[in-house]
Structure 1
Amino acid sequence: MTFEVWAPQAGRIDLQLADGTCPMRRVGHRAGWWTAQTDAADGTRYGFRLDGGPVLPDPRSARQPDGPDGLSAVVDHRHYRWRVAWAGRPLRGAVLYELHVGTFTPQGTLDAAAGRLARLARLGVTHVELMPVCPFPGRHGWGYDGVAPWAVHEPYGGPEALKRFVDTAHEHGLGVVLDVVHNHLGPSGNHLPAYGPYFTDTHATPWGAAVNLDAPGSDEVRAYFIGSALAWLRDYRLDGLRLDAVHALHDTRAYPFLEELSAAVDALAVEVDRPLFLIAESDLNDPRVITPRAKGGLGMHAQWNDDFHHALHTALTGETDGYYADFATAPLAALARTLTHGFFHDGGHSRFRGRRHGRPLDRALVPAHRLLGYAQTHDQIGNRATGDRLSASLSPGLLACAAALTLTAPFTPMLFMGEEWGAGTPWQFFTDHTDPELAEAVRLGRRHEFAAHGWAETDIPDPQDPATRDRSCLDWSEPERAPHAGLLAWYRDLIALRHARPDLRDPDLSAVRVDHDEQARWCVVRRGELRTAVNLGSRPASVPVGRHPWAVLAAWRPQTTAPPGPDGLLHLPGESCAVLGPA
């Protein structure tokens, strides 16, 4: 077997195996690369010793059986026997479901999560989006402090468990998307700086030195992360990747990293003969992120659209703090703006930022399915002081309205796990740092952050307390009882309707029309021949939907929602919604 490692500054490297040491030699035609050949099989433990220093794990390790600081283990991907001949499932027409392995079930493993996939198939979603699964110190955490971008967290089950999960998902007809982090690595267990210039002080990030995408040595660093991305898609048969916070990828080169990555993924899609896609998380509101490369863009296939979330959240809750302030003056108008133009911030002034923000989206060039729309995500729940979901403060009727607006919008909809039944469990910020100083710094930082916003420090959950993670696990008895069962049925109905009606899958933003009344708190979204009518107010409302022979295709309160009369008015109870189509 051939072992390779890039370490341009090392004078000597030894491959450390359980039965001895093997000196490595420089590769003549690849600057900074070292190689060694020796007998090794699947599961063999190994590491690299640079210049006589401690044995370190492989930067490209596919498995860390003893955690980020332990020896690496050889993974022979040919050993797994795939059960499903998977042809792939494209992003267009998708309904995504964001899932955190460690809290989706009390067991917190990939195998336990796989046991629940049949429920998601019955719900009607098409893809499961896994939050990061790369190794991090400890057992439980969000996963965004991972330190081995090619490996699978061992407490989740390791590489074999991820393959079993993907295989099971494909058996149910579900695609799998993985959240990956290229903008930083965790502060604990990160050994990359010992190998080479993986980071640079040329740019600053919230996490310290930036990943080196444009300074000397950046060719190999870019290849490292692109290779990792391709490995997930190829070796684990994933259908797509979600790229965390791409606005934090500092890159001044003429050929941007994201464009290079997009080209590599598109080439792999041709090679494996199935659709592959990249979803970016971007705070820039820059249409170039999701504009095809041939049209001068970066070629991401989609991006999260926080503007839709913020407008919807403000309309539902009335919250005006932080970035919600930009949407508070007229939340339904802001919602209408996102539904018809994609971005709310498209070059106008942002009060929250104190400057102009964004750029207009060319609706003729960028179809709406390239934007993901959602009412809740891990960020928008977990980054709240107590991790409270919308279900903690909204009535079932308003939750139903949120679902109707999300699942009949022109965007690719995404749900956060448990949202479909109005889960009563919070989703809080939790960590399991093994470094006591880091653990205390995170604990105090969390308390001080929210104390500055008026929260009592005693009210902020301790991230290091195991109970914080336990509270965040879904309660799988909830979907079987009221009021959760009713909301779950509503989500199933809406998703089925979306799959059945071409109007709801039309990605043309210019064809969407929205009528609304801020004071009465109702809005009507027109999608082809369909109307989604929503009454967010507590009182009944007569909502104009047009003079037409209408049929009620779905209604949150069907017993009190009759088709509109000849006057074209739909009489909706308070905190209620309905979807109409031609009779």
Structure 2
Amino acid sequence: MKIGAYYNGANKCEFIIWAPLLESLDLKIESPEEKLIPMERIEGGYWHAEVADLGAGSRYMYRINGEHDRPDPASFYQPDGVHGASEVVDHGKFKWADLGWKGRQLDEKIFYEVHIGTFTPEGTFESAVKRLDYLVDLGINTIEIMPVAQFPGSRNWGYDGAYLFAVHNSYGGPDGLKYLVNECHKREIAVCLDVVYNHLGPEGNYISQYCPYFTDKYHTPWGAAVNFDDAHSDGVRNFVIRNAIYWFEYFHIDALRLDAIHGIFDMGAKHILKEMAEEVSEFCRQQGRRHLLIAESDLNDVRVIQPWAEGGYGLDAQWSDDFHHAVHTLLTGEDKGYYADFGRIDQLVKALSEGFVYSWDYSVYRRRMHGSSSAGMPAEQFAVFIQNHDQVGNRMLGERLSSLVSPEACKLAA
């Protein structure tokens, strides 16, 4: 089931929202002319309204049980931030020039991680385009964009997003992201977008007033756990699966980095990640091109990337934390935190030959057995790196590897 506000042309808009526990829901148009329109309850806990004489750029909110006006949790744009009205977006107006683009294969990707807010002095999608040729000269063929879902304020790592479908206003909104992706594809640069499905940021997060999006069954370090397997979880699962496909369909994103899947809890018979992979695979079949799902995971659980026929979730790849830790400890000698589990040359050999270093071995850091064997899995399913935002930003002083070791050691790591 699609969700959000869709401009269907000829000044007609369709609004669909999931709110199974509400007694009443009204669509409040705030501009260009104020009006209140009752929503119709339809099957599955969804509400629906079709409105004539309403164009793209119109602002709206939802009135919950006749009392509170709140933004659309599936808003496509929040021009005034997390507390302001949502805006109708015409996704069909952008003129794409990448129709022949088929993406890049896993085994040829060379990633460069980009934070849009700090990549250029202006901190916008448009200004980032000016540096694309520089990245091509570096040998980069894939950029990984840190999360752009609407969060409070103008600058943030992006992991406190409150509106998963809304491209952040200060970066340039939906048209700005489309422009950047279009220009990347002109230069044969693939685009991987970081998305967060394990929690939502606290400020501007009104989604629980609409639906049981969270559960107390599990806990995450960042906030309430998302409800993927409790009562009313079907609508939550649809919400995140539609979001994944949304980036592929309307923004031509090539791959998604699924943030910290160890914070995604699902004890159901079909894990949400497997269902997502199945739905994305079907979308790719219909579109005639491949889009990728790449997990961030500290589980060392081979099921994440195993094919469905072998009982896996069928994700395309995952980031190789074990490779990073093995390289980092050998070069720096650090042994605190999770680095306590690393520091031997044979571990680097295993990371290179198998993928997971810990494959049901005792972890000093975790004080328990950890991991499963990934021997035999294709090497391209492991994205290796020597630093990223977590490994730098989580340090007390934020040192990059180049400030910790000699230039020769940096060359060796590279």
The answer to whether the Cα contact below 8 Å between 1:24 and 1:34 also exists between their aligned partners in 2 is no
The answer to whether 1:341 aligns with 2:354 is: yes
Q: Which residue of structure 2 aligns with residue 161 of structure 1?
A: 176
- Contact 2:192 / 2:254 at 8 angstroms: preserved in 1? yes
TM-fit CA distance, 1:33: 2.5
CA distance in 2, matches of 1:206, 1:396: 36
1:101 corresponds to = 116
Report % sequence identity: 46
Matched, 1:257 2:272: yes
Once the two structures are superposed, what CA deviation does each residue of 1:370-391 show, in whole Å capped at 9, x if it has no partner? Answer: 0111100110001101111011
- Per-residue CA deviations over 1:265-296 (Å, capped at 9, x if unaligned) read 11111111111110001111011100011221
Alpha carbons 1:57, 1:71 under 8 Å: kept? yes
Give the SS at the match of 1:183: coil
Q: Does 1:402 align with 2:413?
A: yes
1:568-583 paired onto structure 2 within 5 Å: none
Residues of 2 paired with 1:314 and 1:282: CA distance? Answer: 20
Single out whichever of 332-341 and 192-201 deviates more from structure 2: 332-341
Q: After TM superposition, give the deviation of residue 88 of structure 1 in Å.
A: 2.2
Aligned equivalent of 1:354:
367
Give the match for residue 27 of structure 2: 15
Q: In structure 1, what is the Cα distance between the partners aligned to 2:230 and 2:218?
A: 10
Establish whether residue 379 from structure 1 lines up as the match of residue 390 from structure 2: yes
Distance in 1, Cα, partners of 2:391 & 2:307: 29
Aligned residue in 1 for 2:403: 392
> Which SS does the other structure have where 1:4 is aligned?
strand
Alignment of 1:1-12 (within 5 A): 1-12=13-24
| Distance in 1 between residues matched to 2:45 and 2:200, nearest whole Å | 25
Q: Which residue in 2 is equivalent to 1:292?
A: 307
Deviation at 1:325, TM superposition (A): 1.0
In 1: Cα distance, 2:235 partner to 2:156 partner? 29
Structure-2 change in CA distance of 1:52 and 1:401 (3 Å): same
Matched residues in 2 for 1:167 and 1:4: separation? 29
Q: CA deviation at 1:205?
A: 1.6
Asked if 1 retains the 8 angstrom alpha-carbon contact of 2:196 and 2:258, the reply is yes
Q: Does 1:24 align with 2:38?
A: yes
Q: Which of 58, 61, 66 is matched with 1:47 structurally?
A: 61
Aligned-pair distance for 1:74? 0.6
The residue aligned with 1:76 is 90
Letter in 1 for 2:396: A
Distance in 1 of aligned mates of 2:105 and 2:38: 43
Structure 2 residue 239 is matched with structure 1 residue 227:
no
Aligned-partner Cα distance in 2 for 1:34–1:7: 11
* Alpha-carbon distance in structure 1 between the residues aligned to 2:140 and 2:282: 27
Cα offset, 1:36, TM superposition: 4.1
Contiguous gaps of at least 5 residues in structure 2? 1-12
8 Å contact kept, 1:5–1:35:
no
Q: Assess, with a 3 A threshold, how the Cα gap between structure 1 residues 30 and 327 changes in structure 2: closer, same or farther.
A: closer
Q: In structure 2, how many angstroms separate the alpha carbons of the residues matched to 1:188 and 1:22?
A: 26
Aligned partner letter, 2:26 = D
CA contact (8 A) 1:176 1:240 kept: yes
Where do residues 51-130 of structure 1 align in structure 2 (5 Å cutoff)? 51-85=65-99, 86-130=101-145
CA contact (8 A) 1:381 1:388 kept: yes
Superposition deviation, residue 69 in structure 1: 0.8
The 8 Å contact of residues 183 and 249 in structure 1, kept in 2 or not, is answered as: yes
Structure 2 residue 272 is the aligned partner of structure 1 residue 272: no
Q: Deviations over 1:220-264 (max 9, x none)?
A: 100001001100011000101000011111101101100000011
**Aligned AA (2:18):** W
One-letter amino acid of the structure 1 residue matched with residue 281 of structure 2? D
Question: What is the TM-score with the length of structure 1 in the denominator?
Answer: 0.67
Equivalent residue, structure 1, for 2:210: 195
Cα contact 2:392–2:398 (8 A) shared by 1: yes
Relative to structure 1, the CA distance from residue 25 to residue 46 in structure 2 (aligned partners, 3 Å threshold; closer, same or farther) is closer
Q: Deviations over 1:308-328 (max 9, x none)?
A: 000100011111111111113
Q: Bigger radius of gyration, 1 or 2?
A: 1
Paired position in structure 2 for 1:489: none
- SS of the residue aligned with 1:33? strand
Q: Distance in 1 between matches of 2:248 and 2:399?
A: 33
SS of alignment partner, residue 77 of structure 1: coil
Distance in 1 of aligned mates of 2:273 and 2:113? 23
Partners of 1:38 and 1:12 lie apart in 2 by: 21
CA distance in 1, matches of 2:252, 2:54: 25
What's the RMSD between the two structures over aligned residues?
A: 1.2
Structure-2 separation of matches of 1:257 and 1:114: 35
> Distance between the aligned counterparts of 2:39 and 2:396, measured in 1?
52
Count of residues paired in the alignment: 399
Query: Which stretch of the first structure deviates more once superposed, 152-161 or 37-46?
Result: 37-46
Q: Given residue 317 of structure 2, which amino acid in structure 1 is its aligned partner?
A: A
The answer to whether the 8 A contact 2:111-2:141 is kept is: yes
What is the identity, as a one-letter code, of the residue corresponding to 1:72? S
Residue by residue over 1:128-160, the C-alpha shift from the partner in whole angstroms, topping out at 9 and shown as x without a partner, is 110101110011110000010001010000000
Structure 1: which 5+ residue stretches go unaligned?
A: 404-583
